[in-house]
Structure formats: C-alpha cells, structure tokens
Chains A and B, each alone.
Chain A
C-alpha cells in the first residue's frame, strides 16, 4: 500500500511538493488531469524510499496529499 496518496483530481500542479520533499521523490506528471493541470505523481519504487515525513502534504495548498506511515505491530 502506498505511503503518499496524491489526489490527482484535487492537484493543481503548482509543484510546491516537489521542492518540499527532502528526497526529491515527487515529480510532475506528463499527463493532464481532468481539470487541465499536470498533477504531482510518485512512482511505486519511490513510494518504498519515502520516510513519511509529510513535508509534501504540509506545503500542499490544496490539501491533496494524505500520508501513511509504516508501523510495526506485534
């Protein structure tokens, strides 16, 4: 399951999340969304590298990003 969930329909393609991610994992898609913006995307390999710091979600002006963190359960 992904740690970074980007709501593609909510994203306006401002790109602020790409500068906020300390590992540079988020990039802009080359496919337009339904609103006509190029939304932010993260690949499956980069999902694995994500540390769930939520920097991208904090800076997102459209609250389009939800973050999950892997926790150990007994």
Chain B
C-alpha cells in the first residue's frame, strides 16, 4: 500500500484568483470565501446576480466571478428587489457593510425585508465606516472611539448600537435571520453552515434571508490584526450575540 496527497481545501471556483484590496486581517475576504463556497455547492454561479453596496464591500464585482450590479449608497436591497422581480429564476444577493445597510440604507433594508423579497442579504458588521476613515456607525459599540466619536460613543447623545439581525427577525416577510462571526475556525465553520442555510432559503423560494457577520476592522480600530480579532470575541459578541433568530424551515 502506498500513499498519495489529496487536496482537502481549495480556493472556491466562484471566487476569482486575484489579490484583494482589503487590509491585513480584514475578514471581508473570509466572508467572500464562504459566500463563494455556497455558490459552488449549490451550483448557482452562472445564474447568480450580486448587488454591490458602497463601502469596502463595493469591490466584490472584482472578486466574485459572477454578474454584479452596483447600487447607490444604501440602496442595494431596492436594486436587488428590481433584479429579483425581473429575473425570478436568478439567485440574487446583496453584500453590504454596516454604514451602508444600517445607516443610509435602513429604510431600504427594512422595507425589502418586510415585503419578503426573495433575496439574500449578507451584512458585514465591523462597527465602523471602514472605507471612509473609521467614522461612527449605527453599530459602533458604546464608548468605542472612532474618528467622529473621539471620546467614545456617548449613548446619551448618539443612541445605542442597532442589532439588525434581531430587528429584521420581527418582520413577517423574513424567512431566515441569523448572526455569525468568523473570528475562530469553529465560528468560520458555523458561519459557512448559516450562509448555506440562507442560500437554501432563497433557492426554495421561502422569502427574505439575512445573515449578519461580525468582522474585524484592524485599520480603523487602530489595532493589529490579532488584537482586532480578539476584540470580536471580547466586545462584539457580548453585545451582538451569535444565534439564528428566525428560520421558517424549522417551524
């Protein structure tokens, strides 16, 4: 008997083999990989239309090997509504950051979810505006210092961080809503399962699916990648608990 080497972990086919612009330790790349792996698994790459938001996530059209529409800031769910209604046989997803989805796009996401549009939304929550220089976002944690809250977020003035996954789970049109993190290998595996559940929700035509992913932003948090990754477990997960808040397939 002899032995051979078998490849057990490879680059997903739906993800282009290119260098990303993301900073070292930024977990957008991990989340891109999980979405691309789900596309590969369900075999929907050739009928997927992505809708890109504004922010660091905007360059997904250069990284996913699919067709992409670029939406104005915050309006990805509105554009995706049009795409899905015009082409109901396509797999349609948006991929948005917290500044895009939870601030300027709050109206669009809530109404698209409430209408139960058959799309999937991937929401990357890193508690800050990444691309524009680390300003305070609606998801910025209490006391967190950002370039527009230099003394820390004061909840008396600025309000509290929004828990989007819980908020959307209240809406009748939402079929699936969950929050995951990608800070440890275990959480990455769990996140991969949840992303696939969200894909399944759309493929079965059950309604709107939403996945919030907690992500590190070392550059704007002013931390090295390992400290930033540790902050996800220490500060973010206690405020943004990891759970599946709604799953109509389980009912």
Interface of A toward B, CB cutoff 8 Å: 1, 3, 9-10, 12-16, 19-20, 37, 52, 54-55, 57-63, 65-74
CB <8 Å contact, A61 and B8:
no
CB < 8 Å neighbour of A14 from B10, B20, B25:
B25
Nearest Cβ distance between residue A54 and chain B, in whole angstroms? 4
CB <8 Å contact, A61 and B25:
yes
Consensus secondary structure, chain B interface: mixed
Interface of B toward A, CB cutoff 8 Å: 1-12, 15, 19-20, 22-30, 33, 182, 184-185, 188-189, 218, 225-226, 229
Contacts of B1 in A (CB 8 A): 72-74
Q: Which residue of A lies closest to B4 (CB)?
A: A73
CB <8 Å contact, B20 and A67:
no
CB <8 Å contact, B9 and A54:
yes
15 A/B residue pairs, CB under 8 Å, sorted by A: A12-B24, A14-B225, A15-B226, A20-B185, A54-B8, A54-B9, A58-B189, A59-B182, A61-B25, A61-B28, A61-B30, A66-B9, A69-B5, A69-B6, A71-B6
- CA separation between A19 and B2, bound complex, in Å? 33
